[in-house]
Amino acid sequence: MKNLYFEPESTNEPKVEFNAETGICMISGDCYPETGYYFFENLHSWINNYITEVKGSISFTINLRYFNTSSSRGLFILITILKKYKDEGGNVKLMWHYDKDDEYMLEEIKGYGEEANIDIIKIPEED
C-alpha cells in the first residue's frame, strides 16, 4: 500500500501525511478546500484501504488552525471510520492539537469525541 501525501497547493488546503508502514497519519494547517467532498473522499478511501489491507495500528493527529463546514463533515467521517476500526479491535490513537486560547475549537473537538463516542486526546498549544 502506498503512502498518501499532499503538500498544500494553496493556503486553503491542509498538509496530509498518511504513512502505510507506520500507521502514523497527520492532517495539518488550514482546511477549507474548494472541493472539500473530493478532498476528503481520498482520505476516507486511504484509511478504509489501510484498515482492510494493513490492519495495523493507527496514530492519527489533527493539527488544524481552521476548518470550514464542509471540512467539518469530512473530518467527522474520518473520526467515525477510526471509531469503527477501534470497535472492531484495531489499535487507534486520535490526537487533536489546538490553540490553547481557542475555546471554540476545543468545544468542537469535545463535540466530535462525544458524537462519535471516541476518546480524542486534546493537546493545547501556545501561539
Contact 47, 54 (CB under 8 A): no
Cα gap 76→83, rounded to integer Å: 10
Q: Is the pLDDT of residue 68 over 80?
A: yes
**DSSP run (H or E) holding 46:** helix 36-53
Strands 24-31 vs 58-67: parallel, antiparallel or unpaired: parallel
pLDDT tens for residues 1-33? 999 999 988 889 999 999 999 999 999 999 999
CB crowding 84-122: b at 16 or more within 10 Å, else e:
ebbeeebebbbebbbeeebeebbebbeebbeebebebee
Query: Over the stretch 82-106, which tens digit does the pLDDT of each residue have?
Result: 999 999 999 999 999 999 999 999 9
Task: Tell me which CATH homologous superfamily contains domain 4-125.
Answer: STAS domain (3.30.750.24)
Please tell me the predicted confidence (pLDDT) of residue 3: 98
Q: What percent of the chain has pLDDT over 70?
A: 100
- Calculate ∠ Cα 33-109-47, nearest 5°: 60
Read off the pLDDT of residues 53-62 as tens digits, 9 standing for 90 and up.
999 999 999 9
- For residues 41-49, average pLDDT: 97
pTM of the model as a whole: 0.94
